[in-house]
Amino acid sequence: MKNLSGKVILITGGTGSFGNRVARHLLKQKPAQIRIYSRDEKKQWEMQRVFPQFRFIIGDVRDPDRLAEAFQGVDYAFHAAALKQVPSCENYPYEAVKTNVIGSQNVCAAAIANGVKCLVALSTDKAVKPVNAMGISKAMLEKIVCSQNQFGGKTTFCCVRYGNVMGSRGSVIPLFRDQIRQDAPLTLTVPDMTRFLMTLDQSVDLVLHAMTQSRGGEIFVRKAPACTVQALAEAMRLKYSPRGARHPIKVVGIRPGEKLHEVLVNEYEMQRITEQPNYYTVHPEYRLPKKAAAKPLGAEYTSANTKQLTSSAQIGELLDMMGQVEMYI
């Protein structure tokens, strides 16, 4: 873990699920200042009531001039700003380009111009073999961020790649909780669809691991279990619904741009990874590891072949670990 005491840290998209949670962790390090950069003044007002000591900056990653001002004096940065809802990005793909692609280039340029020591960008399993506009734009984010170190420079750039972060805004767990509160059926797309499960605290652990380990250009992945959406719905109705196993479940069909299973490391990346008990590190092609982990050709790391949580008790343990979601729903 890097010593962040006395350092200035900036989080783009800092009013989101990740920003709220990582901010709590960073406070323990006693930084000189935490800056929250985002475009939503309502969320900033709500977050400022909890964290009055932070500096809140209204701005959009699409605006390079505003970013240049916000990054002055910053030591470390987390780039979490994104359009991440699959349906809205499918309807308006160029908006995803402007925020996730051009915005990421603007963030990298601001980090370099201001001598930031390390920038960690947040990506998603949907960036791997993408089939939707959000995933394609996040794949370009990865390419932009991870390309920055191939010609040297003082700023270390890397990415982290998440599966489903439990309880984050717009994800399925808050949706199921709302449906249970309203006594409405739990809506499943496809019962056999699998998704990785990671708590917000585990996602914060991953970015801090990346910041500590990165030499530049890597993508860091935290190993995570997965379950089917059917198993998740069954576990949630048992845990949260007064009706228990009698709470209805309705299958509504797959949505445009959705995959049946997600991939966190594809078969090409698997040939240039190093492995730790809880992590994979995908090394850039311009800095291959001296000894890559031995993986058979064609092997991938997916939500279908990772450890599967099949019982409601197992999934319930993770739901307990998720903690309170009121802060970031």
- Output the domain CATH number for residue 125: 3.40.50.720
**For this structure, is 126 an active site residue?**
yes
Positive or negative, the CA dihedral 35, 201, 197, 245 is negative
Contact 207, 22 (CB under 8 A): yes
Would you say residue 208 lies in a domain? yes
Residue 210 lies in a domain: yes
pTM more than 0.85: yes
> What's the rounded mean pLDDT across residues 300-305?
96
What's residue 69's pLDDT? 98
3-state class of 61 per DSSP?
coil
Instruction: Compute the distance between CA of residue 156 and CA of residue 152 in angstroms, rounded to an integer.
Output: 9
Residue 175 CA to residue 170 CA, distance in Å, equals: 7
**Average pLDDT value for residue range 261-277:** 96
| pLDDT given for residue 323 in this prediction | 62
- The pLDDT value given to residue 299: 95
Give pLDDT, residue 279: 97
Residue 266 lies in a domain: no
Structure tokens that stand for 322 in this block: 């998720």
Residue 124 lies in a domain: yes
Q: Identify the active-site residue in 7, 126, 259, 295.
A: 126
Backbone angles phi, psi at 44, to 5 degrees: -65, -40
Domain span including residue 135: 8-162+198-222
- Tell whether 306 is covered by a domain: no
Pairs from 230-235 (Cβ < 8 Å, separation ≥ 24): 230/188, 230/191, 230/192, 231/309, 231/310, 231/311, 231/312, 231/315, 232/172, 232/173, 232/176, 232/195, 232/197, 232/315, 233/176, 233/186, 233/188, 234/312, 235/311, 235/312, 235/315, 235/316, 235/319
Helix axes 229-240, 312-322, angle to 10 degrees: 70
Residue 322: predicted pLDDT: 78
What would the mean pLDDT of 254-261 be, rounded to a whole number?
A: 88
- Of the ranges 16-30, 180-194, 213-227, 281-295, which one carries the lowest mean pLDDT score? 16-30
Model confidence at 183: pLDDT above 70: yes
The per-residue pLDDT of the chain, averaged, comes to 93
Residue 324, pLDDT > 70, answer no
Query: Quick one: pLDDT at residue 1?
Result: 60
Residue 23 has pLDDT above 90, yes or no: no
Q: In this structure, is residue 24 part of a structural domain?
A: yes
CA dist., res. 97 & res. 124, Å (int): 15
* The predicted structure's pLDDT at residue 165: 83
Contact 11, 31 (CB under 8 A): no
The pLDDT confidence band at residue 19, using thresholds 50, 70 and 90, is confident
The Cα–Cα gap between 300 and 269 comes to 8
168 touches 328 (CB < 8 A): yes
Q: How many CA atoms lie within 13 A of 9 on its CB side?
A: 28
pLDDT in tens, 32-82: 999 999 999 999 999 999 999 999 999 999 999 999 999 999 999 999 999
Tally of structural domains, the chain: 1
Amino acid at 175: L
Chain center to CA of 121: 9
Residue 311: DSSP 8-state: S
Name the least confident of 39-43, 146-150, 151-155, 230-234. 151-155
